[in-house]
């Protein structure tokens, strides 16, 4: 009953601040002054007679009561968005923001390179792509769509498998000529390029342990593109996605018959957002793109 006397704009400001953590970031998204947001939040806390945020030098974080309000507010937000999208759909217009979190390989090399096709069809949908290997919480609204290497074990999530993809061992043409590698034993003491161990958040990315017990890693990076560029220079061997490296004329597959690592991509959306038209059309776009660009490559 509490929500019937609330102003939706106050709840909107509350949600944006809860997701941004800082007044300045929230103000930029809402295109208002930070003091306006601060006044709105103060008024909301006075009306509700409860503290909604903890304030610290790091920003704003939700209190226990704030977390409870956020859950109810998100339901209202999704209902409002759903009504709006059903109405504008009649005019063939779909709009809004969609944030997708995906690994650098798929995000930069596949989605970003083909995003113009989506924009031509849906010019009023703005895409925010977070291309990294950090985990993002769908439940906490850090992202709308998560493309993961594994299926989540819990949560109110809608998930489906996108595809399998393959990782192979690559070297530059020059490196391959200088180093004759015909069997796995020949990899001993050879220089490798890989991820930084302490920043491998998902075990599915720790490919190298499946190839070599004690690899001689001489260059490591959390960026897949940086790894590929280092391999291209002839620095060493490295494991790369076939959908990224197979068409690179400067790279050559090493031990093709012995090394072929299989992984999966899963697309995940919160059940509250699953029916939102802007989410649905972007998920469909990703599925079609992956089917065209990845599924046939081994």
123 burial type by CB count under 10 A (0-12 exposed, 13-18 middle, 19+ buried)? exposed
Q: How far apart are CA 258 and CA 60, in angstroms?
A: 52
Separation between Cα atoms, residue 149 and residue 283, nearest integer Å? 16
How many Cα atoms occupy the beta-carbon half-sphere of 246 within 13 Å? 13
pLDDT recorded at residue 115: 96
**pLDDT tens-digit profile, the chain (298 residues):** 344 456 778 888 898 898 888 899 888 888 889 899 999 899 899 888 899 999 988 889 999 998 888 888 887 777 776 666 566 554 457 888 999 999 999 999 999 999 999 999 999 999 999 987 566 667 667 889 999 998 887 777 889 999 999 999 999 999 999 998 999 999 999 999 999 988 888 888 899 999 988 899 999 999 999 999 999 999 999 999 999 999 899 999 999 999 999 999 999 998 878 888 899 999 999 999 999 988 767 6
Domains of the chain in sequence order: 2-89 (1.10.10.10), 96-163+264-293 (3.40.190.10), 165-262 (3.40.190.10)
Q: Whole-prediction pTM value?
A: 0.70
Closest among 80, 55, 54 to 66, alpha carbons compared? 54
DSSP string, the chain: -GGGGS-HHHHHHHHHHHHH-SHHHHHHHHTS-HHHHHHHHHHHHHHHTS--EEEETTEEEE-HHHHHHHHHHHHHHHHHHHHHHHHHHTTT---EEEEEEE-HHHIIIIIHHHHHHHHHH-TTEEEEEEESSS---TTTTS-SEEEESS--SSSSEEEEEEEEEEEEEEEEHHHHHHS---SGGGGTT-EEEE--GGG--SGGG-GGGGT-SS-EEEEE-S-HHHHHHHHHTTS-EEEEEHHHHTT-TTEEEESTTT--EEEEEEEEEETTTTT-HHHHHHHHHHHHHHHHHTTT--
Q: What is the pLDDT of residue 92?
A: 53
Residues whose CB is less than 8 angstroms from the CB of residue 96 and which lie 6 or more positions away in sequence, other chains included: 81, 85, 124, 125, 126, 276, 278
| The pLDDT of residue 135 | 62
* Cα pseudo-dihedral 151, 156, 162, 164, rounded to 10: 0
Measured in whole angstroms, the distance separating CA 179 from the mean position of its chain's CA atoms is 37
End-to-end CA distance of the chain: 57
Cβ-contact 169, 211 below 8 angstroms: yes
Within 10 Å of residue 70's Cβ, how many Cβ atoms? 20
What's the pLDDT at 185?
92
């Amino acid at each position: 009953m509490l929500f019937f006397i609330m102003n939706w704009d106050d709840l909107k400001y509350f949600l944006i601040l809860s997701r941004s953590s800082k007044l300045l970031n929230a103000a930029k998204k809402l295109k208002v002054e930070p003091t306006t947001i601060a006044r709105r939040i103060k008024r909301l806390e006075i009306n509700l007679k409860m503290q909604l945020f903890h304030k610290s030098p790091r920003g704003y974080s939700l209190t226990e009561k704030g977390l409870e309000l956020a859950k109810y507010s998100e339901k209202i937000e999704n209902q409002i968005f759903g009504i709006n999208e059903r109405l504008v759909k009649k005019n063939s217009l779909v709009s809004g923001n969609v944030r997708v979190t995906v690994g650098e390989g798929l995000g930069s090399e596949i989605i970003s390179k083909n995003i113009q096709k989506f924009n031509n069809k849906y010019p009023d949908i703005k895409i925010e792509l977070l291309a990294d290997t950090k985990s993002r919480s769908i439940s906490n609204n850090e992202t709308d769509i998560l493309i993961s290497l594994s299926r989540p074990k819990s949560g109110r999530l809608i998930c489906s498998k996108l595809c399998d993809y393959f990782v192979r061992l690559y070297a530059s043409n020059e490196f391959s000529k200088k180093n004759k590698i015909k069997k796995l034993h020949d990899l001993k003491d050879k220089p490798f390029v890989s991820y930084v161990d302490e920043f491998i958040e998902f075990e599915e990315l720790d490919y190298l342990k499946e190839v070599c017990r004690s690899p001689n890693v001489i260059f490591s990076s959390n960026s897949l593109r940086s790894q590929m560029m280092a391999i291209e220079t002839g620095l060493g061997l490295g494991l790369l996605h076939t959908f990224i490296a197979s068409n690179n004329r400067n790279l050559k597959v090493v031990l093709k018959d012995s090394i072929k690592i299989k992984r999966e991509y899963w697309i995940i959306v919160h059940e509250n957002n699953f029916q939102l038209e802007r989410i649905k059309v972007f998920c469909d776009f990703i599925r079609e793109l992956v089917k065209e660009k990845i599924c046939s490559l081994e």
